[in-house]
Amino acid sequence: MNVIISGGGTGGHIYPAIAIANELKRLDPTTNILFVGAEGKMEMEKVPRAGYTIEGLPVVGIQRSLTLANLAFPFKLARSLRRAQQIVRDFKPDVAVGVGGYASGPTLLAATRQNVPVLIQEQNSYAGLTNKVLARWAKRICVAYPGMDAFFPADKIRLTGNPVRSDIQLADQQVEAGRVQFGLANRDAGPVPTLLVIGGSQGARTLNESIEAGLPQLMAAGVQVVWQTGTGFIGRANEAVAKAGATNVHPYEFIYEMDRAYAVADVVVSRAGALSVSELCLVGRPAILVPFPDATDDHQTKNAMALVERDAALLVRDQDARQNLVTEALNLLTDSAKKENLSKQIKLLAFPNAASDIAQEVLKLTSRNKLV
């Protein structure tokens, strides 16, 4: 079986795509998988690292502000469509999967023109523009939230959740390994309360500046912090920690072993990207979500509210974070009853079999569905 998987641009698109690919290979190791991404985007590095081949398209997005860069959009789109048609013609896929992002549009359009069945995976609670456009041609649409018939035909929808890396599901087995890796301390009475701060694969300036401003509070409270800053802030974070003498705060440019990071966390502060929310549901950690306000269609706020309305997470607005975030985090760290309830409620929203369920839907669209 030949499968094309297209999309990317962010870790929230790429890692679910890789999880789907891994599950398809687990079901049938002879499956041939080709990724199609956007040139210059992070999928061009992350996908080969995961062991898969990827082709790049010159496609770009339209900037919301008036800019000369938008003049190139139609030309790059036309080139991308031609390139995608050639890729589909050469690879001869049995099915094409789109996970959102610039590249999935031309690729899935090329697939439908060549009568290849298409499956869309929508990670967010508010559908992205590319997936909304492609829905008319898709045979199946896998979603992570209920109520998505507001965007897609109800008869095409399957509620599967978002696939995440398999090691995330085993996070609770990594507590001791995580404590060693992140250099965390114990008191006589047991582990020191630990706050995990993650801002997505690129880091989040608001979260970073909030932790920086709150270093005196964190030191006074005696809690530990595992702080993923992203590339652009790591130098400033290290300098701030050293200046404050905050030996209890551990900045990291990027954390690859997220299973260990979740394992040691008593409370997690995070943006509300689809992948982060899905991981938090699986690991069941009490969470404070700070949605990125400039995300397309404000989808991160919608993702966060899907949890907040079920008493499964707390929300701090981006504009309030620098003043309130550390205080809210410290309050939650000391409120055992609140932590227990948040953990209980967020676990109810997890989809531990998401990758398998999506892979089964992929197989159903092919003539080779004997594994279903």
356 assigned ligand-binding residue: no
- CA 149, CA 168: separation in Å to the nearest integer? 29
Is there a contact between 62 and 70 (Cβ–Cβ < 8 Å)? Answer: yes
* Secondary element (H or E) of residue 308: helix 299-308
145 phi/psi in degrees, rounded to 5: -130, 150
- Kindly state which CATH superfamily the domain 166-347 is placed in: Glycogen Phosphorylase B; (3.40.50.2000)
276 is in an annotated binding site: yes
- C-alpha 58/C-alpha 75 separation (Å) is 9
Where in the chain are the domains? 2-162+353-364, 166-347
Those residues with Cβ within 8 angstroms of residue 75's Cβ, 6 or more apart along the chain or in another chain: none
Q: Does residue 81 have a known ligand-binding role? A: no
pLDDT single digits (tens) 272-294: 999 899 999 999 999 999 999 98
> Fold identical between 2-162+353-364 and 166-347?
yes
The answer on whether 270 is annotated among ligand-binding residues is: no
Q: Which range has the worst mean pLDDT, 1-5, 47-51, 368-372?
A: 368-372
- pLDDT confidence bin for 61, thresholds 50/70/90: low
Would you say 277 is a known binding-site residue? yes
**pLDDT for position 350:** 95
Is 165 marked within a binding site?
yes
Residue 10: what pLDDT? 78
pLDDT tens digit sequence for 255-275:
989 999 999 999 999 999 998
Return the H-helix or E-strand segment holding 362: helix 354-364
Q: Is 268 annotated as a binding residue?
A: no
Q: CA torsion, points 215, 221, 225, 231, in degrees to nearest 10?
A: -10
Q: Which CATH number fits the domain 2-162+353-364, given the four candidates 3.40.50.2000, 3.30.465.10, 1.20.1510.10, 3.40.710.10? A: 3.40.50.2000
Whether residue 100 is annotated as binding a ligand: the answer is no
Q: What mean pLDDT comes out for the span 320-342?
A: 97
The SS3 assignment for 246 reads: coil
* pLDDT for position 372: 43
Tell me if 278 is assigned to a ligand binding site: yes
Condensed to tens digits (0 to 9), the pLDDT of residues 117-171 reads 999 999 998 888 889 999 999 999 999 999 999 999 999 999 999 998 888 988 9
End-to-end CA distance of the chain: 14
Cα–Cα distance, 68 to 60 (Å, whole number) = 13
> 3-state class of 282 per DSSP?
helix
- 68 touches 96 (CB < 8 A): no
The reply, when asked if residue 6 is annotated as ligand binding, is no
Q: Confirm whether residue 300 is marked as ligand binding.
A: yes
Strands 267-270 and 249-252: unpaired
User: What are the CA-CA distances from residue 74 to residues 59, 64, 79, 266 (Å)?
Assistant: 9, 15, 9, 48
Between 38 and 66, name the one with better pLDDT: 38
pTM (two decimals):
0.87
118 with 93: CB under 8 angstroms?
no
Greater confidence (200 vs 91) lies with 91
